[in-house]
Amino acid sequence: MKTYYTLITGASQGFGKSMSLEFAKRGMNLILVALPDSGLKKLSKFIELYFNVKVCYLELDLSISVSCYDILRYIEVNGLQVKYLVNNAGVLSRGEFSGLNEKYILKQIDVNVMTPTLLIRLLLNNLKSNGPAGILNISSMASFFTLPTKQVYGGTKAYLTSFSKSLAKELKGDNVSVTIICPGGLNTTTRLCYQNRLMGWVTQKSVLNPEEAATIAVDALFKKKNLVIPGFINKCLMFLDKLLPEFIKDKIAESEIKKQPVTV
C-alpha cells in the first residue's frame, strides 16, 4: 500500500504554515519546503508530534532553479509518492517600477513564475502515478486587476492564474486536478496586519485570516474546483469589476494604494 505525501512550498510561515497545519489535521503526510532559518525544522517536528503524520522538510532557496531539481532528487531517492502539490511560495513587493531593484524584480519572477512551473513539470509523472491527485496554485486577486505599484507582482500572479486554467483542461484525462485560489489580503505577519488596518473599509473587510483561507483552499483542492475566490467581499469585488467603468476602478485603486506604505 502506498504512503502518500503533500508537498507545500513556502511552508514555514503565514499562509503556507496554515496550510501545512490544515493538511496535517486531515491526516496527510507532508514534504515541507521553505527558506533556511525560517523555523521549518521546528514546525515539522511540532506537526509530527501533534498530528501523528510523517513530515519531511527541505530548507531551500526557491529563487534558484536548481532547488527544484534538489526537491525532485530528494523525492526520487526516498521513493516518496506525491499526491498533492501546493505552490505557495511567493515574493511580494510594492513601488514604482522605475525605483524597483533589478535583482529583486528577477527574484520575484523566479519565485512566483519559474518555481511553480518547473516544480509541476518535474513532479507531474509522480502526481499522475498517484491519481486521483491534485495541484493547488496560490495566486492572488491582483491577477485580475491592473494595480499601479504592484505591476510585477500582479503580472506574475496573472501568469499563474492563466497557466493554471490551461493546465487544468490539459490534465483532465490524467486524473490530476488543478485548483487556483486567488485570495485578497491575508493577515499573515504583524507588518501586514498593521498595513491592512490602514486601508479603506472595503479592503479591510476583504482581508482574511490565513487559517480561514487555508481551510477554503484545501476544501477546494479536495473538491477539484478550478478557481476559488475566498471571501464574500472579494467575490463582490470581482462582480463589480465587470460593471464599473475603468476610470472609476482606477480612482478606487489609486485611493487604496496611497494608504499603504511602500515596501520592497
pLDDT winner (highest mean) among 43-57, 140-154, 199-213 = 43-57
Please, which pLDDT band fits residue 28 given cuts at 50, 70 and 90?
very high
**pLDDT the model gives residue 194:** 36
pLDDT at 195 over 60: no
Q: What is the pLDDT of residues 109-138, one digit of tens each?
A: 999 999 999 999 999 999 999 999 999 999
Cell of 169: 483542461
Q: How does strand 55-59 pair with strand 133-138?
A: unpaired
Residues whose CB is less than 8 angstroms from the CB of residue 252 and which lie 6 or more positions away in sequence, other chains included: none
**Which domains, from first to last, does the chain contain?**
4-258 (3.40.50.720)
C-alpha cell at 125: 509523472
